[in-house]
């Protein structure tokens, strides 16, 4: 897709449906007064969504976490290598650039291998990896599969510091067993579907994603040639509930590029990205309800988030998506991605809104990297594989490892509990009925992020970290908490 063509078509679509790009002036987020005791102290939720890392690849040796299985300091799991006939155990990977592997729905099923969790190396060997399209010389380090490698405080010291000072969620699963686009759709709507028209009732379940870049380009071409608006994401997303409850929100997109290709996003050349270009990491402009509610102006560049954090004017709910350079999506640099996240967290901590903010940091899917935990089956779409999750807030428990079953659906549940009087994305009650298979936020096995907070504790001071930290200490496999 070409950015200038998308932008032109997007403007045309707005004209066709009679919408402008200006945002509705945010009304008071007074719905928080209906939140359970303690949660009313949270006035701002910030969700930072990075890319393509499994829990074991980042925190598999973190003390007290459900990490890579071992006995007497030796890992007791491995992934068969069909090329050599051997079985490769996890190993420490000091590389700043990784290749990862395929991370489509089909690749997820093969990685999980019926619950054996040992298909990762076989999938990596037959799939193109992130460095197959990169020009970075460091990609030479990933000429062979690196999916069994893990990192620790030597490579990602700030992430381990946040875990030590705040909360680490060690049973947080990708909400959908698929790649980036469905994962980002679930992040804002708890569903991935394909729609035949702009009516929510026309949507049908689609685990592999509602469009490919080629299909999206056909929609753009159709709009340019005939004046017919392309089919939108017509089902209901969380911004509809925020809008109807008068709760402010912002979706912030870093200008740069994204790996905009079908399923295995590690394998294609990047495409331009900005807050004006719908894409796999920026799906909200294509949602019908966002257009109808005149909320397109709430999709903004990340420079505005930084300015609002500095002034103390953050909306009630913020999502932040990086460009490829800062995303940690192979072949992006770990160091660079960690610096990006640290800069965002520091900006909130330095601003007036820190005392009333909850920051959630996670990764959208596993990127082909090894994880040993079998994902729970909650419905036909997921959960997907386990990903890291950090909770950073003045009220976050200190050094707490949360073992609850969670997914990114829990972020929606938290937002709804804090700001929406526990309203849900429920076709029976939300005013825009769609045929989604279930109400994900009410899944009985889904934990609640409120357990990660202690609202009776004295609010925590900021923990400002360097964007260029020195390496931390090596982890001790099997260390006690």
Identify the three-state secondary structure at position 189.
helix
8 Å CB contact between 390 and 163: yes
Q: What is the CA radius of gyration of the chain?
A: 21
pLDDT of 5 strictly over 90: no
For residue 140, the 8-state DSSP code is G
Separation of alpha carbons 468 and 68, rounded Å: 28
Separation of alpha carbons 47 and 239, rounded Å: 14
**pLDDT tier at 129 (50, 70, 90 boundaries)?**
confident
pLDDT of 10 strictly over 50: no
Cβ neighbour number for residue 35 with a 10 Å cutoff: 20
Determine how β-strand 400-402 pairs with β-strand 172-173. Answer: unpaired
pLDDT tens for 60-83 read 999 999 999 999 889 999 999 998
Kind and range of the H or E element at 478? none
Q: Which of 232, 172, 131 is nearest to 385 (CA)?
A: 172
51, 98, 173, 193, 321 from 183: Cα distances, Å:
10, 21, 11, 12, 13
Separation of alpha carbons 136 and 134, rounded Å: 6
**Which residues, 6+ apart, have CB-to-CB distance to 191 below 8 Å?**
185, 205, 235, 425, 434, 436, 440
Separation of alpha carbons 373 and 68, rounded Å: 9
What is the reported pLDDT for 15?
A: 32
What is the reported pLDDT for 160?
A: 98
**Which residues, 6+ apart, have CB-to-CB distance to 336 below 8 Å?**
325, 326
pLDDT of 450 strictly over 70: yes
**pLDDT tier at 216 (50, 70, 90 boundaries)?**
low
**Residue carrying structure tokens 């004006």:** 276
Separation of alpha carbons 63 and 153, rounded Å: 12
8 Å CB contact between 171 and 451: no
The residue ranges of every structural domain in the chain are: 3-56+156-452, 61-150
Average pLDDT, the chain: 86
Identify the three-state secondary structure at position 321.
strand
Structure tokens belonging to residue 406: 């969670």
Separation of alpha carbons 144 and 146, rounded Å: 6
Phi-psi region of 384 (alpha: psi -120 to 50; beta: other; left: phi over 0): beta
| Pairwise pLDDT comparison (8 vs 438), residue with the higher score | 438
pTM of the model: 0.89
Domain 3-56+156-452 has CATH 2.60.40: no
H-helix segments, 70-145: 105-112, 120-126
Average pLDDT over residues 243-257: 95
pLDDT tens for 363-395 read 999 999 999 999 999 999 999 999 999 999 999
Separation of alpha carbons 130 and 471, rounded Å: 25
49, 158, 184, 259, 294 from 63: Cα distances, Å:
24, 15, 30, 34, 47
**Residue carrying structure tokens 């707005």:** 14
pLDDT of 481 strictly over 90: no
pLDDT of 263 strictly over 60: no
**Which residues, 6+ apart, have CB-to-CB distance to 225 below 8 Å?**
none
Average pLDDT over residues 209-218: 64
pLDDT of 440 strictly over 80: yes
**Residue carrying structure tokens 């402008």:** 20
């Amino acid at each position: 897709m070409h950015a200038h063509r998308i932008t032109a078509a997007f403007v045309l679509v707005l004209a066709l449906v009679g919408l402008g790009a200006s945002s509705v002036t945010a009304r008071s987020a007074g719905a928080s007064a209906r939140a359970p005791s303690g949660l009313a102290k949270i006035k701002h939720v910030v969700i930072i969504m990075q890319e393509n890392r499994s829990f074991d690849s980042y925190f598999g040796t973190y003390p007290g976490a459900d990490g890579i299985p071992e006995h007497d300091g030796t890992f007791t799991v491995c992934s068969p290598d069909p090329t050599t006939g051997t079985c490769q155990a996890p190993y420490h990977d000091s590389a700043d650039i990784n290749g990862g592997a395929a991370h489509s729905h089909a690749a997820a099923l093969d990685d999980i291998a019926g619950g054996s969790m040992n298909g990762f190396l076989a999938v990596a060997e037959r799939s193109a990896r992130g460095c197959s399209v990169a020009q970075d010389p460091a990609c030479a380090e990933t000429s062979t599969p690196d999916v069994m490698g893990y990192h620790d405080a030597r490579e990602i010291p700030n992430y381990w510091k946040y875990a030590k000072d705040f909360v680490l969620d060690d049973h947080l699963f990708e909400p959908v067993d698929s790649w980036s686009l469905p994962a980002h759709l679930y992040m804002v709507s708890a569903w991935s579907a394909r729609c035949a028209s702009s009516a929510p009732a026309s949507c049908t379940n689609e685990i592999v994603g509602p469009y490919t870049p080629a299909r999206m380009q056909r929609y753009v071409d159709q709009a340019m040639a005939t004046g017919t608006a392309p089919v939108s994401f017509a089902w209901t997303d969380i911004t509809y509930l925020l809008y109807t409850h008068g709760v402010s929100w912002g979706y912030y997109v870093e200008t740069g590029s994204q790996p905009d290709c079908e399923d295995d996003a590690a394998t294609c050349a990047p495409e331009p990205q900005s807050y004006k270009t719908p894409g796999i990491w920026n799906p909200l402009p294509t949602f019908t309800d966002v257009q109808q509610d005149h909320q397109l102006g709430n999709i903004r560049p990340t420079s505005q988030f930084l300015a609002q954090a500095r002034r103390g004017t953050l909306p009630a709910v913020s999502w932040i998506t990086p460009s490829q350079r800062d995303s940690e999506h192979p072949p992006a640099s770990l160091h660079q991605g960690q610096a990006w996240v640290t800069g965002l967290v520091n900006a909130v901590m330095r601003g007036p809104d820190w005392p009333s903010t909850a920051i959630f940091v996670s990764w959208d899917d596993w990127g082909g990297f090894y994880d040993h935990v079998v994902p729970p089956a909650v419905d036909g779409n997921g959960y997907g594989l386990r990903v890291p999750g950090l909770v950073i807030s003045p009220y976050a428990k200190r050094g707490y490892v949360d073992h609850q079953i969670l997914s990114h659906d829990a972020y929606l549940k938290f937002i709804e509990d804090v700001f929406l009087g526990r309203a849900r994305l429920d076709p029976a009650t939300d005013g825009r009925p769609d045929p989604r298979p279930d109400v994900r936020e009410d899944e009985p096995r889904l934990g609640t992020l409120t357990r990660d907070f202690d609202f009776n504790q004295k609010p925590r001071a900021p923990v400002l970290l360097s964007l260029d930290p020195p390496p931390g200490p090596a982890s001790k496999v099997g260390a006690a908490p």
